[in-house]
Amino acid sequence: MLFGRKEPIHVTNLTNDLFLRALRREAVDRTPVWLMRQAGRYLPEYNATRKKAGNFMALCKSPDLACEVTLQPIDRYGFDAAILFSDILTVPDALGLGLHFVEGEGPRFKKAIGSEADIRGLPAIDIEHELGYVGEAVQTIRRALNDRVPLIGFSGSPWTLVCYMVAGGSSSDDFLKVRQWLYSRHDLVLLLLEKVTDLVIQYCAMQIRKGAQAIMLFDSWGGLLADAQFGRFSQAFLSKVVAALTQQFPDTPSIVFVKGGGLWLERIAATGCTALGVDWTVNLGQARVRVGSQCAIQGNLDPAVLLGHPDHIRAEVARTIQSFGLLEPGVGHIFNLGHGISQFTPPENVQCLVQAVREFSSRSN
Amino acid sequence: MLFGRKEPIHVTNLTNDLFLRALRREAVDRTPVWLMRQAGRYLPEYNATRKKAGNFMALCKSPDLACEVTLQPIDRYGFDAAILFSDILTVPDALGLGLHFVEGEGPRFKKAIGSEADIRGLPAIDIEHELGYVGEAVQTIRRALNDRVPLIGFSGSPWTLVCYMVAGGSSSDDFLKVRQWLYSRHDLVLLLLEKVTDLVIQYCAMQIRKGAQAIMLFDSWGGLLADAQFGRFSQAFLSKVVAALTQQFPDTPSIVFVKGGGLWLERIAATGCTALGVDWTVNLGQARVRVGSQCAIQGNLDPAVLLGHPDHIRAEVARTIQSFGLLEPGVGHIFNLGHGISQFTPPENVQCLVQAVREFSSRSN
């Protein structure tokens, strides 16, 4: 077990602890459900709050507004978990790289990491201070949630942060520059990974201390690594984060999501995470056979399903639940998409999904 | 066996038949090597010819210039196979979609497929006529090659062509529109796939008749499909193409490359292809165990390796060859990258790779 046997302190008073029970692979009456990027642009109420904030980063940096959007999908759909509204790139922003978003183009940094001097010149920062707005948001959200459902904190994985830091933002060439460094200056990649990993650990630890009841690590670009490189450049650092958090917070579960990591489920499970997030290319039944006795599994509906007809949504939800198979103690399934929800999703389709998960996964069925 | 027992007619007089022997999983003295996109922008002589042609499509459509660039990497490096210089999207172009390239942005169509009427309105075309320039290029290249090495013909896979046709070119949202159709109008996707598949078969058949000695199908976007959709929307149509070609041309081997298809190697092998192309996320030794008794395996060095130091290139080539394991009759390995070569590759690094493949894969080692 990755967390203590005694009832975790954060969990005691939860009105709905389905999500945490499924993470612990305990018996549940039905499959819990939440969606990656559930507080997002597909929701009119989110867009209204974002407009009020001015821009995306201002929304992240306002604890009250971040709280407002975090709770919107909980209020509307009754998801079984809330996830902190923030961005995976707050740590590089805190390092002074200047995160901002260009409409329709994704994240951009004002400064990129281009040399050893850039890495060695990264400032020593106090995460509690620099990312104090995140800690405050976590506290504000916990108060507002009032133990209805647990709150998930998160960070980008070390490898994924390094990808963005070296590219200076999102990439049109599969982050070729840092992948080139793997074969020419892997010492630089490792140096940067070490620095970033320490900060990711501090960052997640702060979120837990402020009230996050689970931590998710998003390795959005782990799937760009060669088979022989994934272990050294992503898995090893995911393991460090998970180990450090588990040691400090044995009661707080961790979820590791490696997009495009379906070939490496055994290695991801070996990080010691409580649950594995899997994308829609993975067969859930096979994932369960491969790692389901070590980890819970979270996923994995194709986000494109939510752009289809309600009949298809119901059918695909049913298929996803069936592909995982019977709920029983010793295995755990958390229903989610295989990637973030599309901004073009009609909000009523999410209601249809939530309803279908409840209906098709209930024990009485 | 997918090809006749008797010696294939095209092969008889080849000076170097290593590539075809490896495809047939016969004994070879060393591992043959060629690179996806080996005639490309990393070569100064390619850029000179392209300048002469005016633009990329003009280069594709000039048999003499296409021949010139096809032979450039053969002359420079002595690769064990030549691949027709063309584009994976010539079939939609022949259907009147108006293929062109925007500098730094990839392929674009003047017209996209947006409705059932668009699909039903696609013209009946005579591939031999509309893509006569490709047939002529194949003939010209065969003459110029003079049986030094075999010539590979190719096409985009049906699913990948449909992705581009519906998106109107390359996509910044993982081809969301056609993936949405999978869950709302899968009848349209299937209708378009059927039409495209017939043309891909005719197109590949024409290339073989004109002299192509192997055919490669590029399923660049198969890896975007959900586990439950890959079989129906990509694999089934790859199978149709392979089956039709095998029936008409039992001596001509086929290679199927599904980028991001590492989880589905068994299903790709079940298409009946002679060889499987695999990207760099796949472990070659595991691929060999999974499908190596049914198919040869082609791949899979990370193209980023070629941007590194020669020492690293040699080390990674050695590792790739070792990961496939001992060459012996009954298995076949063709050395290649796991994706197309980067335009930023220093030409001398390719020489280093070719030299290393020869050195490390020779039987005497």
pLDDT tens for B151-164 read: 999 999 999 999 99
Helix (H) / strand (E) containing A331? none
- Whether residue B184 is contained in a domain is answered as yes
**Would you say residue B3 lies in a domain?**
no
Q: Which two tokens stand for residue A39?
A: 């507080």
Non-local CB neighbours of A209 within 8 Å, separated by 6+ positions: A135
Establish how many alpha carbons lie within 13 A of residue A13's alpha carbon, considering only the half-sphere containing its beta carbon.
Answer: 5
CATH no. for residue B249? 3.20.20.210
The b-or-e profile of B235-267 (16+ CB within 10 A means b, else e) is: bbbbbbbbebbbeebebbbbbbbbbbbbbbbeb
DSSP state for residue A97 in the 8-state scheme: I
Ranges of chain A with pLDDT below 70: 1-12, 363-365
Instruction: Tell me if A308 and B180 make a contact (CB, 8 A cut-off).
Output: yes
> What are the backbone angles phi and psi of residue A279, rounded to the nearest 5°?
-85, 180
In angstroms, what CA-CA distances link B350 with A193, A207, B31?
30, 48, 16
Q: Tell me, yes or no, if B164 is annotated catalytic.
A: yes
Which tens digits make up the pLDDT trace of A41-81?
999 999 999 999 999 999 999 999 999 999 999 999 999 99
Q: What is the 3-state secondary structure (H, E, C) of chain B?
A: CCCCCCCCHHHCCCCCCHHHHHHCCCCCCCCCECCCCCCCCCCHHHHHHHHHHCCHHHHHHCHHHHHHHHHHHHHHHCCCCEECCCCCCHHHHHHHHCEEEECCCEEEECCCCCCHHHHHCCCCCCHHHHCHHHHHHHHHHHHHHCCCCCEEEEEECHHHHHHHHHHCECCCCCCHHHHHHHCCCHHHHHHHHHHHHHHHHHHHHHHHHHCCCEEEEEECCHHHCCHHHHHHHHHHHHHHHHHHHHHHCCCCCEEEEECCCHHHHHHHHCCCCCEEECCCCCCHHHHHHHHCCCCEEEEEECHHHHHCCHHHHHHHHHHHHHHHCCCCCCCCEEEEECCCCCCCCCHHHHHHHHHHHHHHHCCCC
| Nearest chain A alpha carbon to B345 | A180
* Residue of chain B nearest A260, judged by CA positions: B260
Give the CB-side neighbour count of residue A128, counting CA atoms within 13 A. Answer: 5
A136, amino acid identity? E
- CA dihedral sign of residues A142, A145, A146, A150: negative
Backbone torsions φ then ψ of B309, nearest 5 degrees: -75, 150
Q: Is residue A263 assigned to a domain?
A: yes
Predicted pLDDT of residue A241: 98
For residue B144, pLDDT over 60 is answered with: yes
Domain residues for B152?
9-361
B2 within a domain of the structure (yes/no): no
Nearest beta carbon to residue A280 from set B227, B304, B342: B227
Across the range B334-342, mean pLDDT stands at: 98
| Exposure letters A223-239 (e unless 16+ CB within 10 A, then b) | bbbbbbbbebbbbbbbb
Burial class (CB in 10 A: 0-12, 13-18, 19+), A7: exposed
Within a domain: B118: yes
Please give the Cα distance from A279 to A276 (Å, whole number): 10
**pLDDT for B76-120, tens place per residue?**
999 999 999 999 999 999 999 999 998 878 899 999 999 999 999
Q: Which two tokens stand for residue A16?
A: 């709905």
Q: What three-state secondary structure class fits A255? A: strand
Interchain proximity A180–B228, CB inside 8 Å:
no
Which whole number is the average pLDDT over B239-243? 98
Put the strands of the sheet holding B151-156 in their side by side order: B82-83, B151-156, B214-219, B254-258, B275-277, B296-301, B333-337
At A328 the pLDDT is: 86
Of B24, B25, B77, B87, the active-site residue reads B87
Interface of A with B in 246-265 (CB under 8 A): 260, 262-263
Beta-bridge mates of residue B257: B218, B277
Place of tokens 């009032």: A146
ipTM: 0.93
- Residue B326 pLDDT > 60: yes
Inter-residue contact B41 to B175 (CB < 8 Å): no
Contact B183 A307 (CB under 8 A): yes
Quote the CA–CA distance of A238 and B347 in Å, as a whole number: 36
Q: Does the CB of B170 have a partner CB in chain A at under 8 Å?
A: no
**Is B312 an 8 Å CB contact of chain A?**
yes
Q: If we measure between CA atoms, which residue out of B101, B82, B66 comes closest to residue B33? A: B82
What contacts B244, CB < 8 A, 6 or more positions away? B201, B205
User: Is A87 designated active site?
Assistant: yes
What's the pLDDT at B174?
92
Indicate the pTM of the whole model.
0.95
Is residue A151, in this structure, part of any structural domain at all?
Answer: yes
B41 catalytically annotated:
yes
- Can you tell me which residue has the tokens 């004109």? B210
* Residue B33 belongs to a domain: yes
**Which residue's structure tokens are 């390359």?**
B170
Mean pLDDT of chain B: 95
Residue B24 lies in a domain: yes
Q: What is the pLDDT of residues B253-302, one digit of tens each?
A: 999 999 999 999 999 999 999 999 999 999 999 999 999 999 999 999 99
Strands A333-337 and A296-301: parallel
Distance CA A328, CA B231 (A): 29
pLDDT of residue B271: 98
Q: How many domains is chain B partitioned into structurally?
A: 1
